[in-house]
Amino acid sequence: MLSAVIPHNQGTGFAVNVNIRLRPATGDNVAVVTNDSPAVNGDVYDLCVPGAATSPLVLGKPGIEPGGFHGAFWAAPREVIDPVGFLDERFEGAFFEDDDYLERLRQAGVPTRQIASVHVTSRLIGLTMSSCRIEVRPRSPRTRAGSRRSGPGSRPNRLRT
C-alpha cells in the first residue's frame, strides 16, 4: 500500500505540514507530494523501491539532486522513513527542509533514485499548499496517468532555533 502525504496548509511551514500527514500514514510506502505536482505519465507505484528514496522525473522545476531526490515529489518505504525520521520543523516557510532530509538520507546510507518512467509537472515558483489531505488507497490494476537554485536571487537558508 502507498500512502500519499499531501501537505495541509496551516500556515506553520512546509515541514510541519508534511509531518502532520506523515505521522498517521499507514502504508508500507509513503509519498510526499506537493499539491502542484500531478503525475502526467507512468505508474507512481514504480516509485516504491525497497530501501531507497525515489522521485519521479519532475518537469518544470529543478530538483536538489539532479537524477535523484526531488523535494516536490518523493517516495520511500517505512523501512527508510522510520530510522531517518521526519522533516526538520525548524525551517521557516518552505524550502531547505528537503535539502536537510536528503543529507540525512545520505548519512543513513539510503540510496536515492530518479524513476524516469514516472513524470510529474510542477510549478516553478510559488507555494500552493491549500485544501490538501492525506490519501490512502489500495493499489489498483496498473493505472497510467496520462539543482535547487543557488546564488543571486536565491532564498537564504533560514533555520529556526
pLDDT (0 to 100) of residue 133: 37
- Is residue 142 domain-resident? no
Structural domain that includes position 81 = 2-137
- Is residue 72 domain-resident? yes
- Is residue 149 domain-resident? no
Q: Write the CATH number for 26.
A: 3.90.550.10
Regions of the chain with pLDDT less than 50: 127-138, 140-161
* Residue of 153, 21, 155 lying closest to 93 (CA atoms): 155
Give the separation between CA 157 and CA 103, rounded to whole angstroms: 15
Give the separation between CA 79 and CA 129, rounded to whole angstroms: 27
pLDDT (0 to 100) of residue 64: 87
- Is residue 46 domain-resident? yes
- Is residue 35 domain-resident? yes
* Residue of 47, 4, 46, 1 lying closest to 22 (CA atoms): 4
- Is residue 143 domain-resident? no
> How many domains is the chain built from?
1
Contact criterion met (CB below 8 Å) for 132 and 10: no
C-alpha to C-alpha distances, 31 to 56, 78, 141, 153, nearest whole angstrom: 11, 10, 19, 30
For 92-116, the pLDDT digits (tens) are: 766 788 899 999 999 999 999 999 9
pLDDT (0 to 100) of residue 154: 38
- Is residue 80 domain-resident? yes
- Is residue 153 domain-resident? no
